[in-house]
């Protein structure tokens, strides 16, 4: 290093900028910023040289750490993206992340219990915080209780295999202190977990306290970026300075890649197994890990954990595990494409990379600078770049994800090169934008892991991420790895029909019920069959002619002969075999050619191509086993496309299913999160749960609503679509054809109230409500009717027949009870009265609202307001049985309609003339054509103290027979 200082004298000190030559990262290098106060996400991230001040402050939904690892290291419920974590560094067990996949990368309870010994507790009580004793640099001074606790933690694991077990590979070195440490007696060492250490020792979160505990400035400035530049004092073995500083301290220093490479060779390690890049890579991660640990536990580890000797011991351990025992770390397996990148894995954020690029701006001649945020993740052994979605970028910009945060990741994708790469290749650099391979991670598959979670693959026994609540899902944040859902409502199976016609092949889509799908498919098959028959004769003759041209000559001679049978008897055995083979092949070839000819002919005629995709839509909520307020439960719509019969049977209402890899649409609809699944979606039914647990999760069993509740719902409409969707069991009172494609059905029950349901349908649909041959007093059961606003004129609730509305055939106690009432005398009288009111245009209940009125009477006369002939405001006087006639404003368009209703065809033609608006002529018409009229009024508000006025809104001839029946009743 001393020889290199003169060549890099132009490089500024680390406090000013960074000498990294990767300019693509686009970092704003400023003075080192230290985050003081509060809980710090790992002391290692506070020395980051990147500038986050330019990041936009975007609104960010809270990200709960709702991942569930079924083990003692399940991420704490309180640790989410919206909170500051107490620690986020690489923990002391990250060096074991290279163990085989079937090894549980989580500290088990048995290990925790085995390590919790009295000896361990006694050692902690005697630890010294002073970094200045003479033995502070030696990681394995077992004769003193003031040594590094974590060195004792590691010692037994790192040196179970002694030098003698590696005969022929290691040399014995007796001259330096490293050899003394390597051959130390470790029989009294113990092994503890990081959580045990944290429970018994104070974890520091303040920089000033770290300094008071003896942590050096060099260690405080250490990051994953400058870890490679750290140099140690050769005499003491402690961190001394960063290569590139303006004024390096005097004395000899060690810590270069060449120094460690030489030490490994001198120790007898096979140099054919490792390279200088291998040394450089592991030196970076080891130094960052040890420095982070020392800063987190300064009272116990200050000045004795990040030492040169400890670095060498860690390097030796990694050599044995990765190279000798061929146990590749998790990231290296992923980069080699030997393991799926979608497996659950815990990785640490080592660096936040910001890449800037210029593009065309909105204004001509001006460029727009865009910034892309990536993460450099590590398992403690190797780094890998990660491309994140926009939601994760927002969380990074808001510092919810920081350097040192540990992430539990599922369903990641590896992109870039089709072939695997090795992280030690010269072309690979996890810090550069041109890295050949990178991970793609999404928000819904990423959660903050617990601070002491072990890095590397998560054992299948421990599971991955299970989302705990639907409100924790981000629309457009990627698929859901796993979630427990209760099926609250299942809609009927539907079919999405696509008819592809025309040159542009633009499909037209239609949603069909099962009955409509069967009918439409039958029509299509018949059409295709007729089109095929049309081309069949021509196709057969033309194809046969073309096929016979390629027939063998023996067969041709036999066909054109006068007697093919005699010709066949005369030919040789070989010729007979040729003829027989062709006779067997010819029908098959001819059928194939005919089918192809017919298909091509139909395509030339632009015959429509039909595709049908079955699907089912369900309403789901998250299943909670613990106490949960049902009102706080979020709901989502789950659509299963190409649903199989097995899946349809599983999706029963009240069933709890664990679903994996569900898709999430970017936009919600009607306030509901939109989920999607397919035939490949894993659906595992859970054990039958109690009704109380289902109720806690927000599940309510289907029950038909009474007409009283439906009328109240119609009067007080809710904004929630689900609250206005009801099931109803009632008696059919009347069916009215409102138009060619619009039909209404009126339902009633014992209350005498009515529900009017309208449906838009095709002109060919003669049974829109699936009633068949409807008779009087028919009891029906409808599901999924959407209630709409109350009809103030007819004074009844209204509803619409939606896409998923249907008639059910189930018979329950309510249907049987209503059927008995319908066939009783009381039921017949009530239904008759309702029908009579409908026919007469009388409201269903006694009074109208203050804004609407109905009158049955005769139009006596019309007159112009204020006596002005040109006024457009004409009023009418109506005799409705009271002492004084009713006066109301009569709009011109209703005058035309009234004249058309009252007069004959000849007078209707005369009514089109200009003198129709003559008041005397109109009065003559009304006096000569007195008929009982049904008039609807709306009360007009008046200002200035005048009394309210009435305006006629509807006019029709009164149904005298229905009025008579009402009077008789």
State the span(s) of the chain assigned CATH 2.40.50.140. Answer: 707-840
CATH code 3.40.50.720 for 707-840: no
- Could you say which architecture CATH assigns to the domain 852-968? Beta Barrel (2.40)
Nearest-Å Rg of the Cα atoms of the chain is 42
416/409 Cα distance (integer angstroms): 19
Of residues 435, 417, 348, 469, the one with CA closest to residue 95: 348
Is 251 a residue whose pLDDT tops 70? yes
Residue 955, sorted as left (phi over 0), alpha (psi -120 to 50) or beta, turns out to be beta
Q: What is the DSSP letter of 706?
A: P
Of residues 279, 377, 363, the one with CA closest to residue 319: 279
Pairing status of strand 406-409 against strand 446-448: antiparallel
What are the residues whose beta carbons fall under 8 Å from the beta carbon of 535, sequence distance 6 or more?
597, 598, 601, 602
What are the residues whose beta carbons fall under 8 Å from the beta carbon of 127, sequence distance 6 or more?
145, 146, 149, 201, 299, 300
User: pLDDT tens-digit profile of 761-819?
Assistant: 887 787 888 787 666 678 999 999 999 998 888 888 999 999 999 998 877 888 888 98
- Residue that the structure tokens 């959407």 belong to: 786
CB neighbourhood size of 917 (10 A): 15
Of residues 194, 105, 90, 94, the one with CA closest to residue 404: 90
For residue 927, what pLDDT band results from cuts at 50, 70 and 90? confident
pLDDT at 3: 33
- Token pair, residue 963, equals 């009025």
User: pLDDT tens-digit profile of 582-632?
Assistant: 888 888 888 888 888 877 776 666 667 888 999 999 999 999 877 655 556
Is 876 a residue whose pLDDT tops 70? yes
Where does 841-952 have alpha helices with state H? 892-902, 905-910, 919-928
- Token pair, residue 640, equals 């299963």
Q: What is the DSSP letter of 32?
A: P
User: pLDDT tens-digit profile of 372-407?
Assistant: 899 999 999 999 999 999 999 999 999 999 999 999
User: pLDDT tens-digit profile of 487-511?
Assistant: 999 999 999 998 877 666 677 889 9
Residue 672: phi and psi, rounded to 5, are: -105, 135
Please give the average per-residue pLDDT across 115-130, as a whole number: 32
CA 891 to chain centre: 55
67/468 Cα distance (integer angstroms): 8
Enumerate the β-bridge partners of residue 508.
499
Is 722 a residue whose pLDDT tops 50? yes
- Residue that the structure tokens 């944040």 belong to: 477
Of residues 424, 421, 446, the one with CA closest to residue 436: 421
Q: Which of 258-272, 284-298, 775-789 has the lowest mean pLDDT?
A: 775-789
pLDDT at 194: 80
pLDDT at 226: 92
Q: Which helix (H) or strand (E) holds 832?
A: helix 825-840
In the chain, how long is the greatest CA-to-CA distance?
133
């Amino acid at each position: 290093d001393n020889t290199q200082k003169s060549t890099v004298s132009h490089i500024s000190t680390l406090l000013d900028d960074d000498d990294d030559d990767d300019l693509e990262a686009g970092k704003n290098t400023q003075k080192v910023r230290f985050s003081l106060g509060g809980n710090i996400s790992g002391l290692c991230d506070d020395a980051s040289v990147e500038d986050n001040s330019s990041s936009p402050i975007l609104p960010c939904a809270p990200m709960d750490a709702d991942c569930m690892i079924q083990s003692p290291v399940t991420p704490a419920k309180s640790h989410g993206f919206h909170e500051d974590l107490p620690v986020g560094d690489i923990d002391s067990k990250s060096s074991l992340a290279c163990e085989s996949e079937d090894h549980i990368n989580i500290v088990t309870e048995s290990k925790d219990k085995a390590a919790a010994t009295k000896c361990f507790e006694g050692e902690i009580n005697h630890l010294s915080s002073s970094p200045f004793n003479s033995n502070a640099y030696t990681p394995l001074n077992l004769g003193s209780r003031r040594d590094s606790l974590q060195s004792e933690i590691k010692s037994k694991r790192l040196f179970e295999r002694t030098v003698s077990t590696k005969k022929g590979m290691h040399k014995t070195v007796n001259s330096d202190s490293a050899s003394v440490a390597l051959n130390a007696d470790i029989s009294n060492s113990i092994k503890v977990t990081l959580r045990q250490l944290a429970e018994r020792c104070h974890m520091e979160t303040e920089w000033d306290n770290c300094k008071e505990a003896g942590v050096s400035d060099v260690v405080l400035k250490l990051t994953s970026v400058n870890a490679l530049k750290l140099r140690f004092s050769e005499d003491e073995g402690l961190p001394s300075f960063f290569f590139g500083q303006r004024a390096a301290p005097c004395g000899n220093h060690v810590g270069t890649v060449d120094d460690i490479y030489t030490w490994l060779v001198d120790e007898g390690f096979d140099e054919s197994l490792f390279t200088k890049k291998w040394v450089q890579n592991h030196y970076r991660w080891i130094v960052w890990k040890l420095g982070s640990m020392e800063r987190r536990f300064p009272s116990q580890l200050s000045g004795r954990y990040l030492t040169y000797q400890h670095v060498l011991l860690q390097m030796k351990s990694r050599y044995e595990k990765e190279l000798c025992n061929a146990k590749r770390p998790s990231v290296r397996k992923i980069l080699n494409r030997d393991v799926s990148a979608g497996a659950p894995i815990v990785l640490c954020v080592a660096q936040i990379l910001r890449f800037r690029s210029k593009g065309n701006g909105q204004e001509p001649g001006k460029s727009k600078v865009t910034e892309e945020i990536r993460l450099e993740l590590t398992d403690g052994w190797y780094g890998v770049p990660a491309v994140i979605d926009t939601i994760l970028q927002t969380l990074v910009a808001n510092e919810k994800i920081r350097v040192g945060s540990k992430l539990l990741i599922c369903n990641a994708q590896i992109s870039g090169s089709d072939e695997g790469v090795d992280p030690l290749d010269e072309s690979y650099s996890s810090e550069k934008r041109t890295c050949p391979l990178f991970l793609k991670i999404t928000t819904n598959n990423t959660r903050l892991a617990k601070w002491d979670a072990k890095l590397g693959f998560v054992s299948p026994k421990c599971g991955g991420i299970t989302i705990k609540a639907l409100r924790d899902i981000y629309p457009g944040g990627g698929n859901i790895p796993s979630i427990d859902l209760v099926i609250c409502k299942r809609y009927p199976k539907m079919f999405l029909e696509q008819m592809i016609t025309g040159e542009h092949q633009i499909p037209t889509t239609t949603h069909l019920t099962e009955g409509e799908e069967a009918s439409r498919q039958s029509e299509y098959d018949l059409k295709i069959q007729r089109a095929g028959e049309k081309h069949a004769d021509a196709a057969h003759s033309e194809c046969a002619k073309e096929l016979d041209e390629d027939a063998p000559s023996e067969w041709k001679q036999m066909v054109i002969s006068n007697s093919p049978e005699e010709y066949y008897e005369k030919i040789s055995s070989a010729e007979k075999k040729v003829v027989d083979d062709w006779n067997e092949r010819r029908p098959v070839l001819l059928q194939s050619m005919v089918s192809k000819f017919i298909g091509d002919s139909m395509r030339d005629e632009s015959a429509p191509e039909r595709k049908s995709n079955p699907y089912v839509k369900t309403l789901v909520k998250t299943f909670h086993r613990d106490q949960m307020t049902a009102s706080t439960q979020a709901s989502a719509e789950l659509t299963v496309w190409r649903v199989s019969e097995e899946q349809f049977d599983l999706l029963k209402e009240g069933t709890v299913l664990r679903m994996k890899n569900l898709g999430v649409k970017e936009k919600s609809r009607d306030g509901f999160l939109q989920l999607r699944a397919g035939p490949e979606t894993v659906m595992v039914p859970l054990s039958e749960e109690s009704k109380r647990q289902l109720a806690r999760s927000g599940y309510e069993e289907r029950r038909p609503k009474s007409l009283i509740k439906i009328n109240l719902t119609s009067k007080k409409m809710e904004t929630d679509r689900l609250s206005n969707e009801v099931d109803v069991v009632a008696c059919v009172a009347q069916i009215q054809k409102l138009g060619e494609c619009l039909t209404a059905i009126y339902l009633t029950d014992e209350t005498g109230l009515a529900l009017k349901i309208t449906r838009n349908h095709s002109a060919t649909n003669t049974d829109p409500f699936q009633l068949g041959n409807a008779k009087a007093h028919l009891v029906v059961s409808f599901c999924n009717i959407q209630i709409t606003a109350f009809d103030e004129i007819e004074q009844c609730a209204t509803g619409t027949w939606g896409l998923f509305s249907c008639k059910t055939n189930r018979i329950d106690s309510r249907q049987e009870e209503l059927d008995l009432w319908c066939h009783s005398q009381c039921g017949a009288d009530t239904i008759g009265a309702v029908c009579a009111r409908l026919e007469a245009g009388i409201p269903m209940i006694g009074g109208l609202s203050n804004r609407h009125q109905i009158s049955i009477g005769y139009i006596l006369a019309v007159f112009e307001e204020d006596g002005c002939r040109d006024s457009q405001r004409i009023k009418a006087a109506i005799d409705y049985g009271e002492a004084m006639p009713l006066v109301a404003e009569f709009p011109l368009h209703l005058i035309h309609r009234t004249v058309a209703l009252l007069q004959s065809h000849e007078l209707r033609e005369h009514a089109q003339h200009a003198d129709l608006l003559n008041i005397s002529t109109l009065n003559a018409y009304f006096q000569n054509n007195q008929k009982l009229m049904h008039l609807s009024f709306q009360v007009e508000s008046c200002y200035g103290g005048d009394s309210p006025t009435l305006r006629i809104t509807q006019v029709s001839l009164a149904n005298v027979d229905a009025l008579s029946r009402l009077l008789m009743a």
